[in-house]
Chains A and B, each alone.
Chain A
Amino acid sequence: MKTFSIGILLLAPLIAAGAVSRNGAAAGTAGETHATAFRTASSAADQFPRQSRGGFYGAEGDEDETYSFYFSRAAYGSGGRFGRSAWATDYPDADVWITNVLRRLTGVDVAPYDHVVRLDDPKLRRFPFLYAVEVGSMGLAPAEVQGLREYLLAGGFLMVDDFWGAGQWENFEWEIGQVLPEYPIVEIPLDHEIFSSYYAIREVIQVPNVNNGIAVGMGAPGARTEECPGCSPHIFGILDDKDRLLVIINWNSDLGDAWEHAENQRYPLMYSTYAYQVAANFIIYAMTH
């Protein structure tokens, strides 16, 4: 409870001021230079239309500035759900929220805007932190498998979020098995360093999507946090042979929605606070381990 109240205190001014974010990513296939790679999102952003722009505000980040950290969203091939690209779920709102809140909560010099990169893009290797969602419908092309594999083995870090139930798990397990066949997926215990790298995370909470969260918050009858019957939250990981985490997997939980809807008064703040805390820990860990 204590950590939550700290989180609320930290988030409150941000929410009160109204979160500001840049309006999407710049387009175009950038040249190979370093700077353009940092500043320009991959063509993926255009290839896959954005899911939503509603409720967002103008840009704050300076595109000419170079930052130490880019919250890079993985654009991958997939069958898609409801006619949309799965990778772009909650994009770019969740991304803009997490980047701006991270700037407030931590000393990380985060680029305060969204940033998308394709798995088969060589520029992927310039962004050692990668966020992927809805991996339950992920379907990687061979070039993407190779791109992600080399990325992770070279030192990249993948955070997986927002996929639910055994079916989606199986899909993801199969896909990631293509990428890193030599390393098994294991449950990450709460005494792992990743849970104390910034905040002290004492439990794994199931973070509901926005609708379930609001329902639970309002005490609606039959309201529940899970998206699939009886599924409980777990944090899994893939470790290399030196016990370094390459992939952190947030299963049966939706951190992205909690970031995105942090300012929604009907969405319980405790989920957003937890989601930001977990993200801060994952990112600090990825930058130091």
Chain B
Amino acid sequence: MALGIWQFFLKYPPLVYEKGRIVFLSPLPGWLLLAAVVVAVVAGISYFRRGATLPLPDRLGLIALRGGLLALLLVLLLRPTLQVPVAVPQENYLGILVDDSRSMMVADGSATSRGDEILSTLNTELLAKLSEHFRLRIFRFSGDATRIETVGDLTFNGGETRIGRALDQARNELAGVPIAGLVVVSDGADQSEAELNETLISLRTSSVPVYTVGVGREAFARDVEIRRVSSPRSVLKGTSTMVDIVVAQTGYAGKTVPLIVEDQGRVVSSQDVVLPADGTPATVRVNFTAEEAGWRRFRFRVPLQDGELVTANNDRNALIEVREGRQKILYFEGEPRFEVKFLRRAVDEDEELQLVVLQRTAENKFLRLAVDDSEELADGFPITREELFQYRALVIGSVEASFFSREQMRMIVEFVNERGGSVLFLGGKRAFSEGGYAGTPLADLMPVELNERGDPGYYRELKVAPTRAGLTSAALQLDPDPAVSASIWAGLPELSTFNQLTRLKPGATALLTGSGPSVPEGQIVLASQRFGRGLALALPVQDTWIWQMHSSIPLEDQTHETFWRQIMRWMVNEVPDQMTLTTSAEPAALNQTVQISADLRDKGFQRINDALVSALIESADGTTNELPLRWTNRRDGEYEGAFVPLASGLHQIRVQAVRGDSTVASALLTLDAVEDNGEFFNAQMRSPLLRRIADETGGRFYTLSDINRLPEEVDFSGSGITRVESYDLWDMPLVFLLIIMLVGGEWGLRRLRGLP
């Protein structure tokens, strides 16, 4: 309607004005301009003289009306014209990229799917109209763009959508020919938004506008979606594991649904979740225990709800390596104390933990416990990286800082930072500030800020309670039921501390705090922080054994054991081996390239670049391929290789690194290759992305309902081979209307004032 009125008065559509520029084809000779000015001045004077009786506003009004008319005529005499660059018909190519991914099968809101809507829209006169002006090149794309002859070749069965890559490929196909623009028809469910930026910059600099056509609805009426699962890559068998799951929904806000965790089909946990508000993703933490060793496929799902539009986004899988075998932890205790006895007892029955104890029993006298052989720790605390880095975690008890040499301190820092090990600092008379750690390299490692000087007389008894972060930490769950766990915490007897610590390092988290008479506010009992590749913990109490021995604790109570096993398991859970493997996608999409990266280190965890690294890939269908992994040059110790999974299912990837005659390290990775269904996640039409693509390249965003304006828009894009067309403006109906208004206005005013 508005467009019709515009075009009636202004003769041409707005696009012509937007893209064109106004020029005057008949420049006025100087004398004529002078004459016009003289006439105007004379007329003005005469008005003032003759109309002396008229009030000033009337006089000014009459002058304005007459002057305006004269000025308009003057402009028209200049012959104003709109010049617009227009694509030369059949000289330019127009690339049309149609999203062929499976999310096009989503039938949001109506009986027809997005794909069908595209087909019906493109098959009408739109393509015919475009082909009148342009040479059309049609591509279908999901991961890659492929040229097709007709839209009938679309299958809507592709994997993940990568708009950036598709645009690059289409442009390469059209390299060397004049391009009027590219049209992208998609729901914008791009799985690789990050790689888009470079593409857009390149398109903008080469003036190729991208016209985006959004397909689908921006919000589903009813849908539950598991949007993301953040699970650890590997866990220790029998460890209580917390996984963060991002759940989003529309239409079911406030409803309680079960969130089920399955270990290869067997339900290992089910937890009720109250669904968040529409469109607001909420993170839900689920706790389960992995009991079977090996690479396990865990499935996290919410059962299908009544009336759900998209059914394929209610579950997500995660492959987790469930490790077994004893993980070595070194506990170095500087003074004999019962913490050693009870800590050993607590983890004694845990088959996955080996707590090696180096107990200083007197100055320069050590007792070694649970060592593998007579050589282990024979010289006391390790002095070489190889010796220390064989452990996955380190517990440092009540031992003064001056015990360690500067090199040993640096080595402990590297143990955490580079080796990725964990360290736990226990409280005691010789720990933290009281042990003289302030200002040492080890103080940097601690998640707490130390006081400059220790207070040798400080001793407080305190009631321990988990913080909010502690309540949700897997390591501090004393019972699978969070409510029971909280009540166990509340009933535990008091512990004591010699170390006044209340300040956390930036980025550290307090998990347990203590309170009691004369205990300063915020006394830290357990704090953690990530440090480089590893984890650093502070537990500044000295008698957790009270939780085992106290008369209020029943003999069969397992709190002390559970606490320590979980802390120790937490410490070793994600500690990397000499070689760690990662893949560019997990799960991998079938028939799409996957990168395998290996981070390789020697026994001292120094990165090595000169090893021969090869992967033996055993596909799900039993075929075996060898793939060399080459040092990337980008980073020390980083090796890479790529392969394409051709069979769906689990792929066993065994990687071995050889240096000379000896094997440096080997690792096993299991990768799941699946028919990609990432498309069904976050599958609502994402107009912001499509708008951004259009805006940044000088194109425009459409939906299927206003796509009929596309041909004209591309015509005037100014890209490709164009010719300049001129459009006269003097004969616009608007000009005629203006003249009538000016003349009529003057006539009316004169009549009103009784002038001739």
Convert A12-25 into 0s and 1s, putting 1 for each residue whose CB lies closer than 8 angstroms to a CB of B. 00000000000000
* Contact assessment for A288 and B335 in the assembled complex, using a CB-CB cutoff below 8 Å: no
* Contact assessment for B549 and A125 in the assembled complex, using a CB-CB cutoff below 8 Å: yes
* Contact assessment for A107 and B551 in the assembled complex, using a CB-CB cutoff below 8 Å: no
- Whether, in the assembled complex, B496 has its beta carbon less than 8 Å from a beta carbon of chain A, the answer is yes
| Given contact pairs A125-B551, A154-B555, A242-B348, A68 touches B338 in the complex (Cβ within 8 A) | yes
* Contact assessment for A155 and B549 in the assembled complex, using a CB-CB cutoff below 8 Å: yes
Within 8 A of B (CB), among A120-172: 122-126, 128, 150, 153-156
Nearest A residue to B363 via CB reads: A107
Q: Identify the stretch in B231-239, B353-361, B739-747 within 8 Å (CB) of chain A at 4 or more residues.
A: B353-361
- Whether, in the assembled complex, B337 has its beta carbon less than 8 Å from a beta carbon of chain A, the answer is yes
Interface size class of A (residues with CB under 8 A): 20 to 34
Nearest A residue to B345 via CB reads: A155
Which B residues touch A124, using CB under 8 A? Answer: 551
CA separation between A198 and B365, bound complex, in Å?
8
Question: Which residue, of B361, B545, B555, has the highest number of chain A Cβ atoms within 10 A?
Answer: B361
Which of B341, B493, B555 is close to A288, meaning CB atoms less than 8 Å apart? B341
Q: A107-B335, A109-B337, A155-B549 are in contact. List 7 more A-B contacts (CB 8 A).
A: A33-B461, A34-B493, A34-B496, A107-B334, A107-B363, A126-B549, A154-B553
Which B residues touch A105, using CB under 8 A? Answer: 362
CA separation between A289 and B337, bound complex, in Å?
11
Within 8 A of B (CB), among A46-96: 66, 68-69
Which of A122, A153, A288 is close to B367, meaning CB atoms less than 8 Å apart? A288
Nearest A residue to B560 via CB reads: A155
CA separation between A183 and B344, bound complex, in Å?
22
Convert A30-44 into 0s and 1s, putting 1 for each residue whose CB lies closer than 8 angstroms to a CB of B. 000111000000000
Which of A126, A153, A286 is close to B546, meaning CB atoms less than 8 Å apart? A126
* Contact assessment for B551 and A68 in the assembled complex, using a CB-CB cutoff below 8 Å: no
- Whether, in the assembled complex, B255 has its beta carbon less than 8 Å from a beta carbon of chain A, the answer is no
How far does the Cβ of A64 sit from chain B's closest Cβ, in whole Å? Answer: 8
* Contact assessment for A109 and B549 in the assembled complex, using a CB-CB cutoff below 8 Å: no
* Contact assessment for A68 and B336 in the assembled complex, using a CB-CB cutoff below 8 Å: yes
Q: Show 23 residue pairs from A and B whose CB-CB distance is below 8 angstroms, ordered by the A residue.
A: A34-B494, A35-B459, A66-B498, A68-B335, A107-B362, A108-B361, A109-B429, A122-B551, A123-B551, A124-B551, A128-B342, A154-B548, A154-B555, A155-B341, A155-B342, A197-B361, A198-B365, A244-B345, A284-B359, A284-B361, A288-B336, A288-B369, A289-B344
CA separation between A30 and B345, bound complex, in Å?
30
- Whether, in the assembled complex, B340 has its beta carbon less than 8 Å from a beta carbon of chain A, the answer is yes
* Contact assessment for B550 and A125 in the assembled complex, using a CB-CB cutoff below 8 Å: yes
Question: Which residue, of A105, A109, A156, has the highest number of chain B Cβ atoms within 10 A?
Answer: A109
Nearest B residue to A107 via CB reads: B362
* Contact assessment for A108 and B336 in the assembled complex, using a CB-CB cutoff below 8 Å: yes
CA separation between A284 and B335, bound complex, in Å?
10
How far does the Cβ of B304 sit from chain A's closest Cβ, in whole Å? Answer: 50
Nearest A residue to B364 via CB reads: A107
* Contact assessment for B367 and A68 in the assembled complex, using a CB-CB cutoff below 8 Å: no
Which A residues touch B548, using CB under 8 A? Answer: 154-155
- Whether, in the assembled complex, A264 has its beta carbon less than 8 Å from a beta carbon of chain B, the answer is no
Which B residues touch A34, using CB under 8 A? Answer: 461, 493-494, 496, 546
Nearest A residue to B498 via CB reads: A66
Which B residues touch A286, using CB under 8 A? Answer: 341
How far does the Cβ of B689 sit from chain A's closest Cβ, in whole Å? Answer: 61
* Contact assessment for A288 and B359 in the assembled complex, using a CB-CB cutoff below 8 Å: yes
How far does the Cβ of B395 sit from chain A's closest Cβ, in whole Å? Answer: 14
Which B residues touch A288, using CB under 8 A? Answer: 336, 340-341, 344, 357, 359, 367, 369
Which of B334, B367, B542 is close to A284, meaning CB atoms less than 8 Å apart? B367
- Whether, in the assembled complex, A5 has its beta carbon less than 8 Å from a beta carbon of chain B, the answer is no
CA separation between A155 and B555, bound complex, in Å?
9
Convert A215-243 into 0s and 1s, putting 1 for each residue whose CB lies closer than 8 angstroms to a CB of B. 00000000000000000000000000010
Which of A126, A244, A287 is close to B340, meaning CB atoms less than 8 Å apart? A287
Convert B553-579 into 0s and 1s, putting 1 for each residue whose CB lies closer than 8 angstroms to a CB of A. 101000000000000000000000000
| Given contact pairs A34-B461, A126-B546, A150-B555, A107 touches B344 in the complex (Cβ within 8 A) | no
CA separation between A155 and B344, bound complex, in Å?
11
CA separation between A106 and B361, bound complex, in Å?
6
Convert A266-289 into 0s and 1s, putting 1 for each residue whose CB lies closer than 8 angstroms to a CB of B. 000000000000000001101111
Interface residues of B (CB under 8 A from A): 334-338, 340-342, 344-345, 348, 357, 359-363, 365, 367, 369, 429, 459, 461, 493-494, 496, 498, 542, 545-546, 548-551, 553, 555
CA separation between A77 and B429, bound complex, in Å?
37
* Contact assessment for A287 and B338 in the assembled complex, using a CB-CB cutoff below 8 Å: yes
* Contact assessment for B551 and A155 in the assembled complex, using a CB-CB cutoff below 8 Å: no
Nearest B residue to A197 via CB reads: B367
Nearest B residue to A289 via CB reads: B341
CA separation between A252 and B498, bound complex, in Å?
42
CA separation between A156 and B461, bound complex, in Å?
22
Listed from nearest, the 3 A-B pairs whose CB atoms lie closest are A122-B551, A68-B337, A107-B362
Which B residues touch A284, using CB under 8 A? Answer: 336, 359, 361, 367
Question: Which residue, of B545, B551, B555, has the highest number of chain A Cβ atoms within 10 A?
Answer: B551
CA separation between A124 and B552, bound complex, in Å?
12
How far does the Cβ of A33 sit from chain B's closest Cβ, in whole Å? Answer: 7
* Contact assessment for A198 and B361 in the assembled complex, using a CB-CB cutoff below 8 Å: yes
Which A residues touch B338, using CB under 8 A? Answer: 68-69, 128, 287
* Contact assessment for B335 and A154 in the assembled complex, using a CB-CB cutoff below 8 Å: no
Which A residues touch B369, using CB under 8 A? Answer: 288-289
CA separation between A66 and B460, bound complex, in Å?
10
CA separation between A34 and B496, bound complex, in Å?
8
Nearest B residue to A157 via CB reads: B341
How far does the Cβ of A110 sit from chain B's closest Cβ, in whole Å? Answer: 9
* Contact assessment for A107 and B365 in the assembled complex, using a CB-CB cutoff below 8 Å: yes
Nearest A residue to B459 via CB reads: A66
Nearest B residue to A147 via CB reads: B551
How far does the Cβ of B676 sit from chain A's closest Cβ, in whole Å? Answer: 52
How far does the Cβ of A22 sit from chain B's closest Cβ, in whole Å? Answer: 19
* Contact assessment for B336 and A287 in the assembled complex, using a CB-CB cutoff below 8 Å: yes
Which A residues touch B359, using CB under 8 A? Answer: 284, 288
| Given contact pairs A153-B555, A197-B367, A128 touches B341 in the complex (Cβ within 8 A) | yes
Nearest A residue to B548 via CB reads: A155
| Given contact pairs A34-B494, A68-B336, A128-B338, A155 touches B545 in the complex (Cβ within 8 A) | yes
CA separation between A178 and B551, bound complex, in Å?
20
CA separation between A153 and B344, bound complex, in Å?
15
CA separation between A287 and B337, bound complex, in Å?
6
| Given contact pairs A106-B361, A288-B357, A198 touches B367 in the complex (Cβ within 8 A) | yes
Which A residues touch B493, using CB under 8 A? Answer: 34
Which B residues touch A289, using CB under 8 A? Answer: 341, 344, 369
Which B residues touch A69, using CB under 8 A? Answer: 336-338
CA separation between A287 and B553, bound complex, in Å?
20
How far does the Cβ of B585 sit from chain A's closest Cβ, in whole Å? Answer: 47
Which of A68, A107, A197 is close to B360, meaning CB atoms less than 8 Å apart? A107
* Contact assessment for B336 and A35 in the assembled complex, using a CB-CB cutoff below 8 Å: no
CA separation between A86 and B31, bound complex, in Å?
138
Question: Which residue, of B336, B362, B429, B555, has the highest number of chain A Cβ atoms within 10 A?
Answer: B336
Which A residues touch B341, using CB under 8 A? Answer: 128, 155, 286-289
Which B residues touch A106, using CB under 8 A? Answer: 336, 361-362
Which A residues touch B362, using CB under 8 A? Answer: 105-107, 198
CA separation between A15 and B337, bound complex, in Å?
26
Which B residues touch A66, using CB under 8 A? Answer: 459, 496, 498
How far does the Cβ of A121 sit from chain B's closest Cβ, in whole Å? Answer: 9
Which A residues touch B367, using CB under 8 A? Answer: 197-198, 284, 288
Which A residues touch B429, using CB under 8 A? Answer: 68, 109
Question: Which residue, of A35, A105, A126, A198, has the highest number of chain B Cβ atoms within 10 A?
Answer: A126
Which B residues touch A109, using CB under 8 A? Answer: 335-337, 429
Nearest B residue to A149 via CB reads: B555
CA separation between A289 and B368, bound complex, in Å?
12
Nearest B residue to A127 via CB reads: B549
How far does the Cβ of B68 sit from chain A's closest Cβ, in whole Å? Answer: 98
Nearest B residue to A105 via CB reads: B362
Question: Which residue, of B337, B338, B542, B545, has the highest number of chain A Cβ atoms within 10 A?
Answer: B338
